[in-house]
Amino acid sequence: MAYIENDNIGPIELYATAKGICKCKFSSLGSFERNLLGQNDHLDATAAQILSDAICQINAYLSGELVRFELAIDWQGISPFAKQVYQAAMEIPFGEVRTYGEIALAIHKPAAPRAVGQALGANPISLIIPCHRVIGSDRYLHGFSAPRGLETKAWLLQHEGHHIRENRLV
C-alpha cells in the first residue's frame, strides 16, 4: 500500500497485489495509518513494483505530464457488470467526457444508466478508472466519492481542459 498527498485533490491511498492495482481511493492520512497498521508484514516484490509504477504515473498525471494510465488492474472481487462499466470508463480519452447513458450503450445495456452510475459510485480504483469523466446527460456533475465530492471531480475535469460553472460543463 502507498499514500500520495496532493494539494488539489487531497490524499490518495493505493493498494496493489501481484496482479495489479486493486484499490485507489481518496482518503485521509488517519485512514491510511489505520489500514497500514492492519497490514501483514509480507511484501510481494511484484506488488511493490506495481505500486511504484502507479505512484509515478499518478504524479505525472496530476502534474499534466500523463494522459493515460498504463497499469495492471486486479479485477478480483469486482462483478462482471461493474468490470464492463470500469473498462468502458477507462476507454474515455483524457479531456473527453461521456454520459452515464453513453456508458450504458457502450456496454450494450441501454436501459442501465442508473446502474452504471451506481457502479461508478462504488469504483474502488478512482482516478485510474476515470469515473470523473462520466457526467449527467444534462452536462451537470453528479456525485463523486471523494471527501470533497464534486469539488474534486470539477478539479479533475478542469485539469483535463474542461470549463465548469456551478457544477456544470460549459
Q: Which residues are catalytic?
A: 131
How far is CA 126 from its chain centroid? 2
Pairing state between β 164-165 and 168-169:
antiparallel
Q: What is the gyration radius of the CA atoms in the chain, in angstroms?
A: 16
Q: How far apart are the C-alpha atoms of 12 and 104, rounded to whole Å?
A: 28
Q: Phi/psi at 115 (nearest 5 deg)?
A: -65, -35
User: In the structure grid, which three cell numbers stand for residue 96, read together?
Assistant: 473527453
Residue with C-alpha cell 479531456?
Answer: 95
